[in-house]
Amino acid sequence: MQKLARKAETRKISISNESGLHARPVSDLVRCAMRFKSEITIVANGKRCSAVSIMDIMTADIRKGAEISVTAEGVDADKALDAIEKCLSQLSEKGF
């Protein structure tokens, strides 16, 4: 049986919503990340976080204007990053 190649992609994303990443937007972000097989990590303020851990992300204290690096490694890495980017861009539209 042939193994599927693990693909890693990284994108830098700026946080634009007024209140940064607090409990409600982080909850949305985690739900989004959990839909994918890829391992998704976020680096912000010098802290590396799992994108499927609310507590990890909350302790990074990510505020408006912060630039984060999101890395997805796995078979659906591109789709995962597209979804994460879309989720983060829609936060201000949701009133978060």
Q: What is the pLDDT of residues 55-77, one digit of tens each?
A: 999 999 999 999 999 999 999 99
| 22: annotated active-site residue | yes
Q: Which of 9, 11, 19, 22 is catalytic?
A: 22
Q: Are 29 and 51 in contact, with CB atoms under 8 Å apart?
A: yes
Contacts 24+ apart (CB under 8 A), 59-63: 60/21, 61/20, 62/15, 62/20, 62/21, 63/15, 63/20, 63/21
Widest distance between CA atoms in the chain: 49
* pTM summary value: 0.88
CA 65 to chain centre: 15
Hey, is 90 helix, strand or coil? Answer: coil
- What's the pLDDT band for 32 if we cut at 50, 70, 90? very high
All structural domains of the chain, each given as residue ranges with its CATH number in brackets, are 16-89 (3.30.1340.10)
